[in-house]
Amino acid sequence: MSERRLADLLAMWRIRAFEEKVRDLRAEGPIVGSVHLCVGQEAIPAGACDVLEPRDALFATYRGHGWALARGVPAEPLFAELMGRATGVNGGRGGSAYFTAAEHGFHGENSIVGAGAPIACGAALAGRFDGSGRAAVSVFGDGAMNQGAVHEAMNFAAAFSLPVVFVCENNRYSELTPIADMVRAPRLADRAAAYGMPGHRIDGNDAEAVRFHMRDALEVAREGGGPTLLECMTERLVGHYIGDAEAYRQPGELERIRRREPIARLREGLLADGVPAADVDAVEHRARAEMESAAAAALDAPFADPATAREHLYA
């Protein structure tokens, strides 16, 4: 059990260390443009991706760095992509919010809120015809639950019993607005009943809880039972984007969040169960060393050549 939890800790620390290095590189200049970090939400991709198969298709949001890492995208070309380098996963063309790595089952981010949901339905439907047996996972935030495309995707997936898992990362803020101010019924998972599919609200700060429910949802999907909605309750430790003043937060809010964020919780639990502090701390050191090395290698890579800008386009 301790090995499994230490593996979860490593998966989360890899994401945390990557995101914190991205924050630093954005401040120093090598990364430019809009950047959205998932600091505090690491348990959801860590738990969910642990039970995905190589054939499965994952569709994330513009806050997708952690999902890409958890899906197996190497850190060095991911850093390179964010820095516009030729060695990036998309040759420096996608940047922070638009990259994709289909060879790892990561079919891209999307800066249009909720737009990945209908695309995931397409991947699931294609899997029915190509015999791959793939399941599709669509990730989005709580604000996307009010988007028409998400409604249409859920209805379509349910009507045709498509193997889709809809993962709502409910971090309590729709960009800068509390989700409580935007909906009358606070349990977003309850909406699943209207589509005739299962819906579960789960602890999104517990990688094991996410893994358990994702495994069940995938089993239902693969057996022809159709889609499931997982509302993963979590909180981000950073702004909606780098540069967000976070004036909407209440006094003392971040201090309260830090006491229950996933890495701190798991670390405390491991220590309470008798795992030596040196073993627990070594996980963080390992993750940070990996990300420092990957970032340094990406910084040494050449920039994307502007002469190649017209490649990968249709005439």
pLDDT for 314 equals 80
Burial degree of 306 (CB within 10 A; 0-12, 13-18, 19+) = exposed
CATH topology of domain 1-301: Rossmann fold (3.40.50)
- Whole-number Cα distances in Å, 15 to 37, 73, 160, 286: 10, 11, 35, 12
- CA 54/CA 71 separation, integer angstroms: 9
- pLDDT, averaged per 10 consecutive residues of the chain (315 residues), comes to 93 98 97 96 98 98 97 98 97 94 96 96 96 96 97 98 98 94 96 98 98 98 97 97 94 94 97 97 98 98 93 82
- Other C-beta atoms lying within 10 Å of the C-beta of residue 202: 20
> Does the reported pTM lie above 0.85?
yes
Q: What are phi and psi of 301, to 5 degrees?
A: -75, 155
Q: Which helix (H) or strand (E) holds 203?
A: strand 199-203
- CA 24/CA 22 separation, integer angstroms: 5
- Whole-number Cα distances in Å, 286 to 89, 212, 281, 291: 23, 27, 9, 9
The secondary structure of residue 181, as a DSSP letter, is G
Q: What are phi and psi of 280, to 5 degrees?
A: -65, -45
What are the start-end ranges of the H helices in the chain?
2-28, 43-49, 65-71, 75-82, 95-98, 116-130, 148-159, 192-195, 207-222, 253-260, 262-272, 277-300
pLDDT for 10 equals 98
Angle value at C-alpha 44, between 158 and 198, nearest 5 degrees:
25
pLDDT for 309 equals 87
Greatest distance between any 2 Cα atoms in the chain? 62
pLDDT for 142 equals 97
Q: Which helix (H) or strand (E) holds 233?
A: strand 228-233
Q: What is the DSSP string of 75-136?
A: HHHHHHHHTTBTTSTTTTSSHHHH--BGGGTB----SSTTTHHHHHHHHHHHHHHHS----E
Tokens found for residue 226 = 């159709």
